[in-house]
């Protein structure tokens, strides 16, 4: 099967490309490399360096003719969405809309949409939060992802385009960038390696649901099957375990066997106080459940950072000596 992964050079997308190739699919990637990296990509994947808002996107769809689109390209930072809500909407709403219009034009069978559970529900919900909770996002990022889900529903009704939206909890694991605002586990791992204090926004009691990227990839593979969910299904993908920022730091201290310095700053606007997902519907619809506990996942992730991101490490032949994210 031909599968197009938008954002496929990024953290989650590149792991998904690897898994689709391992399963025997033909894979193409569209990525503007604003936060992804070329060295993340398996050379067997077709690659177009392109913004999903580009007018050339439909040409790529016409050339590759995918049966499935896995849509992971996004402006993914809550903080950036608060500072630049227009930019967030242009990428996450208008970019997604252009992709869906192209999917209909070129007979794509299914779209798997990377949505958010961590920024979707707001603060006035029961936790763990099921999909039946009324979405009340408190950031432009959450609003734009909700708009993407609504467009999936509309395109299903208007054009018969099959789709499933996977509402991710806080995904972490190898290849996540330690730079920028997204991915507190990666940011903490990067600071641990460079001996910098860990920045804690607010009191550190805010909670998140951390799910390892391997479990997220497996959910995508299950959702992509011909017998997978249909009718605009929305599924939470999380661990179901609530962990505070301070608890996360304590776990990293236990793994490393040393106390970590912290630096407290003001709470960030648009950030939810508590977030943990009820993923029982995904267990029913996909026969999916998380398999990697947080302690094991953190050990694996920190080991990867030691091997790939430690100061003074000489880059592998396939990696650039310096490859910072490009904004835009």
Structural domain includes residue 188: no
Structural domain includes residue 155: yes
Dihedral angle of Cα 62, 71, 87, 173, to the nearest 10 degrees: -140
Which residues constitute the domain of residue 30? Answer: 2-171+211-238+278-291
Of the candidates 230, 242, 221, 222, the one whose C-alpha atom is nearest the C-alpha of residue 287 is 222
Q: What separation in angstroms does the CA of 100 have from each of 108, 254, 260? A: 9, 46, 46
Rg (CA), the chain: 19
How many domains are there within the chain?
Answer: 1
| pLDDT score, position 318 | 30
* Three-class DSSP category at 252: helix
Q: What confidence tens digit (pLDDT) does each residue in 67-83 have?
A: 999 999 999 998 899 99
Structural domain includes residue 296: no
Average pLDDT, the chain: 91
Structural domain includes residue 258: no
What is the distance between the alpha carbons of residues 257 and 183, in angstroms, rounded to a whole number?
23
Structural domain includes residue 267: no
pTM above 0.85, yes or no: yes
User: 16: which strand partners?
Assistant: none
Catalytic entry in 20, 121, 141, 151: 141
Q: What confidence tens digit (pLDDT) does each residue in 94-125 have?
A: 999 999 999 999 999 999 999 999 899 988 78
Structural domain includes residue 151: yes
Q: Would residue 210 show up in a list of annotated catalytic residues for this protein? A: no
Q: What confidence tens digit (pLDDT) does each residue in 22-41 have?
A: 999 999 999 999 999 999 99
What is the distance between the alpha carbons of residues 204 and 271, in angstroms, rounded to a whole number?
12
Structural domain includes residue 325: no
Ranges of the chain whose pLDDT falls below 50: 311-328
| pLDDT score, position 269 | 83
End-to-end C-alpha distance for the chain, whole angstroms:
32
CATH of the domain at 121: 3.40.50.720
Structural domain includes residue 108: yes
What is the distance between the alpha carbons of residues 143 and 100, in angstroms, rounded to a whole number?
18
């Amino acid at each position: 099967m031909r599968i197009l992964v938008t954002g496929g050079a990024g953290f989650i997308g590149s792991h998904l490309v690897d898994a689709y190739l391992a399963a025997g699919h033909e894979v193409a990637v569209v990525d503007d490399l604003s936060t992804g990296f070329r060295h993340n990509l398996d050379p067997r994947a077709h690659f177009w360096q392109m913004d999903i808002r580009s007018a050339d996107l439909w040409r790529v769809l016409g050339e590759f003719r995918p049966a499935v689109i896995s849509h992971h390209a996004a402006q993914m930072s809550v903080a950036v969405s608060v500072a630049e809500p227009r930019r967030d909407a242009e990428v996450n709403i208008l970019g997604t809309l252009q992709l869906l219009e192209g999917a209909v034009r070129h007979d794509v069978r299914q779209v798997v949409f990377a949505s958010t559970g961590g920024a979707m529900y707001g603060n006035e919900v029961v936790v763990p939060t099921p999909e039946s909770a009324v979405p009340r996002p408190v950031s432009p990022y959450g609003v734009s992802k909700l708009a993407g889900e609504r467009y999936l529903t509309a395109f299903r009704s208007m054009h018969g385009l099959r789709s499933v939206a996977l509402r991710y909890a806080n995904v972490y694991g190898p290849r996540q960038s330690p730079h920028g605002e997204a991915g507190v586990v990666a940011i903490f791992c990067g600071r641990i390696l460079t001996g910098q204090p860990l920045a804690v926004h607010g009191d550190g009691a805010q909670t998140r649901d951390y799910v390892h990227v391997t479990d997220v990839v497996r959910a995508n593979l299950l959702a992509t099957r011909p017998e997978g969910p249909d009718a605009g299904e929305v599924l939470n993908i999380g661990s179901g375990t609530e962990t505070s920022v301070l608890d996360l730091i304590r776990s990293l201290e236990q793994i490393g066997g040393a106390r970590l310095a912290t630096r407290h700053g003001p709470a960030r606007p648009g950030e939810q106080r508590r977030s943990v997902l009820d993923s029982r519907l995904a267990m029913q619809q996909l026969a999916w459940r998380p398999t990697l506990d947080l302690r094991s996942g953190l050990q694996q992730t920190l080991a990867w950072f030691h091997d790939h991101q430690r100061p003074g490490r000489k880059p592998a032949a396939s990696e650039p000596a310096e490859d910072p994210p490009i904004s835009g």
